[in-house]
Structures are given as structure tokens and as C-alpha cells.
């Protein structure tokens, strides 16, 4: 078995939050956006990350990219520990790790043409390239994502949301990265366009061998693109399994609830299926439950759940679950 290209160990990202109007000497509260997340990613693999809004998916992605300060833990990329590196030290890794953002239009500079936008990473990371080489590379990568090369002098506002996301993919792909983190790249797009973008990412991965971390709310999309899936809840990992394992036999109650909410195209089956409804709303990350963070909404909760945080353990065939009773 080959060594993973990315290893994240007990990663914690905490933010200090002050109440509005609080005095300067009042100690801020700690918001544990990511609280001890560990996982590995292999070359050419797609890891899907799912969970409710506010569970820490985007913060985890930014922490891996060293875009937010890390409280504790390690991020090891190709054998190099990235934790605590400054901007200058991280620059040599930036071309290997790229990111696609949720809002396709907001992630593109409106004052630059798409040719300039896609060329910018090349000028930053490969300053020795000539103007003609950069121009040829930009046209090549735009053609690969389905944008006509003769549109390079147009501005982002002249394109649709789906086209802007293709431009964002081209910008990430142009430096030939080994990892692309997709932070909900299709959530702002129409359903038909979502399928086109997901299929494009899968084709590009097949052609280049790039690894993907794919963050999304839509579990059907995650199932389609992912090799493995990680389920997050209040900054904690509830379950990690292969896509096939997770959807055929979810072991954590939270995973069961998420999958039961996925619509089925057949009206009869959709009407007959049993939906697992969770009690209460998502707790505040400023005041998470003790022990297992999911216990306040869990149908299996027992007194031990309030006292002991369940470890992430192998429950068979590599399916990792954080639950005392599964």
C-alpha cells in the first residue's frame, strides 16, 4: 500500500468569540470549529466530506491549506509538516495544493479578464515561463474545462455561474496540482449544471490523477464522486467509510439520519421510506454537549455518552465509527 500524500492528525481550529459590548478584560469564549479531526488521503483518491451547516467542513478545508491558524494537531503533506509555516514557507507548497470555492463569481476578480485570472497562478509559481508559454497553457486548460479559448479577454460578469465555476477549476488546474480541495463547488448552481461540473471534475481526475477533497451538503452528489466519505458533526468525525459501505450500511446514527433524508427519484419509494428525524436543533458550537457531541439528538444516547467522548474506531472492514453502541 502506498503512503498517503496527506495526513491530518488530531487537527483543532478554535476561534475566540467575544460577546457584543463585552469589556476588554472579559475572557472570550472558545468556538471549537474543528475539534480533533484525523484522516488520510491517497494519491488519486476522492474524499467526500458531509455534514450540516456549521459542522466545520469549510474550516477544515482552510486549515489543511493553512489559510486559518491551527490550535493544535498536524497537517503533513508529502512528508512535510505544514503546521505553523508562514506565508513565504508555504509558497512552495501552494502550487501542489489548490482550492475551488463555493461562489463561482465571487471567487473571480471582476477587474481581470479570465485569461489574466487563469494565468495569475502560473506567473506566481512559475516566473520563468515566457508570455507565449503562459498564453498557450491558459488556452489549453480553458479548452479542457469547456471554455472556448477565444473568450480569454472577457470578464467574469459576462459568464454564467456554471461557466465561472469552470474558470475557477481551470485556475486551480493550470499549475498541475496534486490536490484540489472543492469547497461546495456546486451548491450555488442549478441541478443540471451541478451534474456537468461534477462529471467534469471526475474526468479531469481520471486524466491527471489529481486527488480531491469534495465538500458538499448533497449526499447523492458525494456518493457519485467519492471513493471514501467522512461525516462531520460540530467539528468532530462521526464516521469514515468507503462510499459503498457508508450508503449501504451506515453505522453512526447521524449518518443514518443524513442518508434517510436523501430524496429518492421514485415517488412510491420516496413516500414509503422511513425518514429518521433528529430531535432538537444543532447545538451551538460555543457550548457543545459534553462527551459525545451528538448525544443530545441521538436515539441511542445513554449516560455514558455524556461522560466519555467515543473514540473513532474500526467497526469492521475499515469502517471507522465514533459511537459507544455501534
Question: What local confidence, expressed as pLDDT, does residue 135 receive?
Answer: 95
Alpha-helical regions (H) of the chain = 57-64, 87-94, 114-125, 131-144, 161-173, 191-208, 219-225, 243-248, 253-260, 267-272, 303-307
Residue 143, C-beta contacts closer than 8 angstroms, at least 6 positions apart: 149
- Which residues of the chain register pLDDT less than 70? 1, 266, 269-270
**CA-to-CA distance for 220 and 225, rounded, in angstroms?**
9
Q: For 316-325, how does the pLDDT look when each residue is reduced to its tens digit (9 = 90+)? A: 888 999 999 8
| pLDDT given at position 270 | 66
Task: Enumerate domains of the chain plus CATH numbers.
Answer: 1-17+29-96+215-326 (3.40.50.300)
Neighbouring-strand partners of residue 214: 48, 182
Q: Residue 9 and residue 72: Cα distance in Å, rounded?
A: 9
pTM score: 0.91
* Per-residue model confidence (pLDDT) at position 3: 81
Which pLDDT value is given to residue 104? 84
Helix, strand or coil, per DSSP, at residue 97? strand
Amino acid at each position: 500500500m502506498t503512503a498517503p500524500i496527506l495526513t491530518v492528525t488530531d487537527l483543532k481550529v478554535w476561534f475566540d468569540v467575544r460577546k457584543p459590548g463585552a469589556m476588554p478584560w472579559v475572557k472570550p469564549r472558545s468556538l471549537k470549529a474543528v475539534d480533533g479531526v484525523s484522516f488520510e488521503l491517497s494519491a488519486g483518491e476522492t474524499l467526500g466530506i458531509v455534514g450540516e451547516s456549521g459542522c466545520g467542513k469549510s474550516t477544515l478545508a482552510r486549515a489543511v491549506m493553512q489559510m486559518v491558524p491551527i490550535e493544535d494537531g498536524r497537517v503533513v503533506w508529502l512528508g512535510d509538516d505544514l503546521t505553523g509555516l508562514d506565508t513565504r514557507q508555504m509558497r512552495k507548497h501552494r502550487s501542489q495544493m489548490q482550492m475551488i470555492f463555493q461562489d463561482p463569481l465571487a471567487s473571480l476578480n471582476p477587474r481581470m479578464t479570465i485569461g489574466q485570472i487563469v494565468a495569475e497562478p502560473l506567473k506566481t509559481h512559475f516566473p520563468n515561463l515566457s508570455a507565449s508559454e503562459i498564453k498557450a497553457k491558459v488556452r489549453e486548460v480553458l479548452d479542457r474545462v469547456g471554455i472556448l479559448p477565444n473568450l480569454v479577454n472577457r470578464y467574469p460578469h459576462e459568464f454564467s455561474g456554471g461557466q465561472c465555476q469552470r474558470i475557477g477549476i481551470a485556475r486551480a488546474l493550470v499549475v498541475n496540482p496534486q490536490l484540489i480541495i472543492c469547497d461546495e463547488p456546486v451548491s450555488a448552481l442549478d441541478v443540471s449544471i451541478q451534474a456537468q461540473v461534477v462529471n467534469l471534475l471526475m474526468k479531469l481526475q481520471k486524466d491527471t490523477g489529481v486527488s480531491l477533497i469534495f465538500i458538499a451538503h448533497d449526499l447523492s452528489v458525494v456518493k457519485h464522486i467519492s471513493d471514501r466519505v467522512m461525516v462531520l458533526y460540530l467539528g468532530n468525525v462521526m464516521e469514515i467509510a468507503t462510499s459503498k459501505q457508508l450508503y449501504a450500511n451506515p453505522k453512526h446514527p447521524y449518518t443514518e439520519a443524513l442518508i434517510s433524508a436523501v430524496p429518492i427519484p421514485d415517488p412510491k419509494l420516496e413516500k414509503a421510506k422511513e425518514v429518521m428525524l433528529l430531535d432538537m436543533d444543532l447545538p451551538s458550537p460555543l457550548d457543545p454537549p459534553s462527551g459525545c457531541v451528538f448525544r443530545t439528538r441521538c436515539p441511542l444516547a445513554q449516560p455514558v455518552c455524556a461522560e466519555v467522548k467515543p473514540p473513532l474506531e474500526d467497526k469492521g472492514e475499515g469502517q471507522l465509527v465514533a459511537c459507544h453502541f455501534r
